[in-house]
Amino acid sequence: MENLEDLSLEVLERLTKIANEVQVILIEELNKTGIKYNMERATVRILNKETVGVQGDGGTYKFPAEIYLAPEDRKTFYELPDFMGYLSIQITNRVRDVNRVTLAIVN
């Protein structure tokens, strides 16, 4: 994994902008569903490695988004698979530079 010091300012700014776009969608969708989560531990990271994905009829080379989420109750764990499928579609449709979304559940 690259250190932040190894990234150019231009790349760092681009990845930060993408992460902020994904974060807005994450919080928006969490609030819509009523899933209880720890706000301080609902974070997004964009990897500086383009991955192959499919959007529409074509292949894409875009960035993966990693989402770290800390649910506040056990019931939430059962809701996450459906929510993640929905969230992944929302993010890849609305954030032009993301073609893959992964979720890490933390406690």
- DSSP string over 37-86: B-GGG-EEEE-SS-EEEEETTEEEEEEEEEEEE-BSSHHHHHHHHHHHHH
The predicted model scores a pTM of 0.84
Please answer whether residues 83 and 32 qualify as being in contact, where contact means their C-beta atoms are separated by less than 8 angstroms. no
pLDDT at 69: 84
- pLDDT above 90 coverage of the chain, percent: 47
In this predicted model, what pLDDT tens digit does every residue of 92-103 receive, in sequence order? 999 999 999 998
Closest CA to 25 of 83, 86, 91, 76: 91
Per-chain mean pLDDT for the chain: 85
Look at residue 84 and tell me whether its pLDDT is greater than 70.
Answer: yes
Q: Which of 3-7, 15-19, 26-30, 41-45 has the highest mean pLDDT?
A: 15-19
Look at residue 2 and tell me whether its pLDDT is greater than 80.
Answer: no
Instruction: Give the class (CATH, top level) of 4-105.
Output: alpha beta
- Per-domain residue ranges of the chain: 4-105
Phi, psi of 48, deg, nearest 5: -85, 55
Phi, psi of 17, deg, nearest 5: -60, -45
